[in-house]
Chains A and B, each alone.
Chain A
Amino acid sequence: MSKGVAITGMGIISAIGNNVAENYQSLIQGKKGISRVSKIKTNHVNDIMVGEIDFTNKNLEQQLALPADNNYSRTALLGAIAAKEAITNAGITNINAYKTGLVSATSVGGMDMTERYYYDYLENKESQKYIEGHHAGDSSQKIAEQLGIEKSLVTTISTACSSAANAIMLGARLIKSGQLDRVVVGGTDCLSKFTINGFKTLMILSDTYNTPFDENRKGLNLGEAAAYLVLESDKVVQAENKKVLAYVKGYGNANDAYHQTASSENGDGATLAMQKALHVADYNPEDIDYINAHGTATGNNDLSEGRAIIRIFGENVPDFSSTKAYTGHTLAAAGAIEAVYSVLALQNNVIYPNLNFKTQMKEFNITPQLELKEKPLQTIMSNSFGFGGNCSTVIFSKEQ
């Protein structure tokens, strides 16, 4: 049994940067990546704003040196880019030197190609290569192949917007139980007409910049992104004398069991998830220095999450902020994006501002951190909640 679950590498691509360094620069400069959608042709172009990555699929295919007849969805392309950065960042040259697996999260999967070629498949032989790329597991298989992971545990988690937090959780469990020595964990989701229209029908898309925890919040901005972290056991860290960026210290998943898409008024599931994570970490609430909140800027989430935070932390709510105003809500990838941001916060002892906030919510008196704040940080809690009542919390720490 491995006691610690060390994070030894990470990679990311999002609307605010194509790698870890660029993302960090944007975070501390308060530079958001929200704009009008340019790569998807949608009638809603003037009604919504999104966090879109600049590269076209062609650019990404070139970066990965893929053959012309490849059948990568954008989800797979983004995932492969971020996962490869994580492996390089962890200084891994021989991936199969240790028992290495991949746990990837996605909700969109190959839907971007399916919606493009849906009827075309029936007539056009050329587009048919994407049929096999539709199912959610396909992007994970491709990422594993890109990393050289063979004959090993590769799986995919899809629990809507908490997916990547759950991928981190499973990865930590696989390390702790000794099933694997090393696991690449994270998530990837691209923008699609499917999700744009889906969230539109739910009437939770903002027509302007999203404003987490603001009284007048109008909803979320969808984003696309991928991020992966390399988790390694004590054994690998010692044998390779690895530099540890942070540890996965606690994790908890619970179900709100309230509604298929909405969170309960008092955040029962969220409260349970945070409690469980504290329990696994063997921490008290006062041990948490910063909460990277889910904070999607929907009316429902921010109220429910805020109340749950108050239920856990009482009068002493630590500094908290949502980084969704930077990236948009990146769905299944969000938990991994925010895990990378949490590790960067620990490394640099900074708390990111909750951008776009103007007006205090009237239901409670907690206010997110509004300016970039330097402060010694030991532990960070990161929340991710999704449809199906799925609530997840992960705790990252400098100490083992």
Chain B
Amino acid sequence: MKKVYINSIASISAQKTFENTSFLNEIEDHEANVITVINPKYKDFIPPAAARRMAKGIKMGVVASKLALKEAGLERVDAIITGTGMGCVRDSEKFVSAIIDNDEQYLTPTSFIQSTHNTVGGQIALDLQCKGYNFTYVHASNSFESALLDAKLQLELNEEKNILIGGVDELGDHTTAIHKIVDHIKTEPVKVSQVLKANTKGAVFGEGANFFVLSNEKNPSSYAEVVALKTYNTLPENEVLQEALQFLKENNLSINDIDLLVLGNNGDVDFDTYYHTLSKGFQNVAIANYKHISGEFNTASSFGFWLASKILKTQTIPEVVKGNNTTTASIKTILLYNQYRGENHSFTVLQQC
């Protein structure tokens, strides 16, 4: 079996990440309960006429994919695998509300077409003229992990050489409004620096696109090796630690090998306990958190994956993501853990390469 490497990374997030020149030095200290991305200049990448028609999710996905390919020094990839929890949700909202408001009349197809979940993957294929394998996973907080698993299997078996994977989700006003009603979004605006200790129900919602070129050929600029990944539809809180240890064991690793835990806690008092339970078992291990700076969305864990990749390559942990005071001389192995509202858990191990 071949090894799998992360050969490039690209992130459009609520922070200044898309240029990939600095590493979270300057933090956008949003004070909100919904945070949007810092947009790149889309017209630098997409002809303005085309960009005007495109949903934000498509624009973010297309630009992030272009950045990822550029950094990998590739003109094309063999396959494109995307994850998205909600797809281009604004177009879904637009089409549903138009059906209701106009009593099924005067509808146009654009928003219907863009509401299709694989529209981002399809547009990237069109843009790159990539006729290869093209899948879209839409499984809540395991959407990105499903894409990662699929790519990893194909690269390990040497079925493909370079695969573009990514996680993308956009915010939509109506979706945000109804999630506020059911307390999935915090009722009050919170500062980035306070989100994780807010001790209140719900999360700060966000959006973003994080894309990567994975390859079974390492190159001098590779970020990390994807060592292992496992997803779970359910996992009781009292089994999270035990399952993490079992997962490490299956991959010939133990707690002692882990230099950093990257956790997906989002400041929701009802569900962060899963992360606390896990980290209690990793007593002297450094911790990094990221959802306070990216916001929570179905593919937010792809931002965690971006963060872990960059930490391994630069060997620095930005101040803003440090979750405890534990220091570590070198960072060789990172364990990522994510879940959303107690469902769809994942463990991922990345290693320096």
Contacts and interface: CB of A to CB of B under 8 A. Distances in A.
A386 B135 CA distance: 11
Contact of A269 (B109, B131, B239, B243): B131
A386 to B, nearest CB: 7
A387 B96 contact: no
A97 interface: no
Interface stretch (A78-86, A256-264, A320-328): A256-264
The 4 lowest CB-CB distance pairs between A and B, nearest first, are A388-B122, A198-B112, A154-B233, A158-B117
B343 to A, nearest CB: 6
B138 interface: yes
Contact of A170 (B138, B150, B177): B150
B137 interface: yes
Nearest to B117: A158
B344 A137 contact: yes
B131 A254 contact: yes
Contacts of A193: 99, 104
A118 B86 contact: no
Interface stretch (B60-68, B140-148, B218-226, B257-265): B140-148
Interface string A192-205: 01100110111000
Interface in B140-193: 140, 142-143, 146, 149-150, 153-154, 156-157, 174, 177-179, 181-182
A388 B134 contact: yes
B185 to A, nearest CB: 11
A260 B123 contact: yes
Contacts of B95: 194, 197-198
Contacts of A255: 80, 122, 125, 130-134
15 contacts: A121-B178, A122-B181, A128-B178, A135-B298, A136-B138, A144-B233, A150-B234, A151-B233, A152-B232, A153-B233, A155-B231, A159-B117, A179-B153, A253-B133, A387-B118
Contact of B118 (A122, A140, A177, A386): A386
A257 B131 CA distance: 6
A157 interface: yes
A233 B298 CA distance: 32
Interface string A154-168: 111111100000100
Interface of A: 42-44, 102, 106-107, 109, 111, 114-115, 118-119, 121-122, 128, 131-132, 135-138, 140-141, 144-145, 149-160, 166, 170, 173-174, 177, 179, 193-194, 197-198, 200-202, 253-261, 268-269, 272, 386-390
Nearest to A195: B112
Given A141-B233, A159-B117, 7 more contacts: A114-B96, A115-B96, A118-B174, A177-B156, A255-B80, A255-B125, A256-B131
Contact of B233 (A152, A173, A258): A152
Contacts of A198: 95, 109, 112-113, 115
Contact of B137 (A102, A156, A174, A259): A156
Contacts of B243: 151
Main secondary structure of the interface of A (DSSP, over half): mixed
Interface string B76-111: 000010000111000010011101100111011100
Among A102, A145, A158, find the residue whose CB has the most chain B CB atoms closer than 10 A. Answer: A158
Interface residues of B, number: 67
A177 B131 contact: no
A253 B160 CA distance: 13
Contacts of A159: 117-118, 121, 134-136
Given A107-B116, A118-B97, A261-B113, A200 B107 contact: yes
Contact of B142 (A118, A155, A170, A389): A155
Nearest to A176: B157
Contacts of A118: 96-97, 100, 174
Given A121-B178, A122-B177, A201-B108, A154 B139 contact: yes
A389 B139 contact: no
Nearest to B243: A151
Given A137-B344, A388-B118, A253 B135 contact: yes
A119 B123 CA distance: 31
A115 B100 contact: yes
A158 B298 CA distance: 15
A399 to B, nearest CB: 23
A149 B233 contact: yes
B117 A136 contact: yes
Contacts of A114: 96
Contacts of A107: 116-117
